[in-house]
Amino acid sequence: MKIISYNLNGIRAAMKKGFAEWLAEENPDIIALQETKATEDAVDTLPLLKLGYELLWFSAEKKGYSGVAVFTKIKPKQVHYGNQYEQSNSEGRVIRIDFEDFSLVNAYFPSGTSGELRQTYKYQWLDEFYTYINELKKEQPNLVICGDYNICHKAIDIHDPVSNKNSSGFLPEERTWMDKWFDSGLVDVFRVFNQNPNEYSWWSLRAASRERNKGWRIDYISVTEPLKEKLKAAAILQQVKHSDHCPVRVEIGF
């Protein structure tokens, strides 16, 4: 089974850049999207439906903001829109899909780059999401957690760890949370297969950052420990360009 996570930074803009054509070629079983910035009725979904996907959307209340979606060729048993946290739900940040062998959680973690207020909310959201996932594990031990985590975990995950040590997304408190996350029985699937530096999933739109590969690895797929032995491959698809992010992919043998 091939699963992809991808922050599109606006699905309508990505569609104009050939997203549907790329999706047809890549042909994942499931693709989890973040920052869709659109409700389903505002998107020409026919090209996506023709590919055989069931389209599951959870948009923010504010138009043109945030939002997540999952497109799946595997029939879900149940869909859960949001979690128990009101602000996260109003911002369209979490959708969970239950399948026969596992549950997939697709999450768009908040950014704190716009100022102290949002950074404070980011810490609140991280604590809430950690609680949510740990409660969910009791119900469903096989979890795949896709998303734009908006955090670089280690120095290897960012092009310049020294100059960015005080930047949101690489703050000590955020990195400590990631330590706690992976110490709690979750696995960073990319690092199971690849320990190389310079493997990034997001680049600033400024200063030709992508061309110079001055990037950050902030997009992750995590799985719970019971799924680790089923992992077959993982990759960051840096050559794919519909967004300021690129897709990340995992193959799991169910």
- List the catalytic residues: 148
- DSSP code of residue 41: G
- Tokens (6 digits) for 238: 């840096």
The answer to whether residues 55 and 36 touch, using CB atoms and an 8 Å cutoff, is: no
End-to-end CA distance of the chain: 7
Q: Report DSSP letters for 197-238, one per residue.
A: SS--SEE-SSTTTTTTT-EE--EEEEEEGGGGGGEEEEEE-T
Token pair 């897709």 is found at 247
Q: Which residues of 216-244 are buried (b: 16+ CB within 10 A; e: fewer)?
A: bbbbbbbbbeebeeebeebbbebebebbb
Which stretches does DSSP call E strand in 99-182?
103-108, 143-148
- Tokens (6 digits) for 160: 């310049």
Beta strand 94-98 with 103-108 is antiparallel
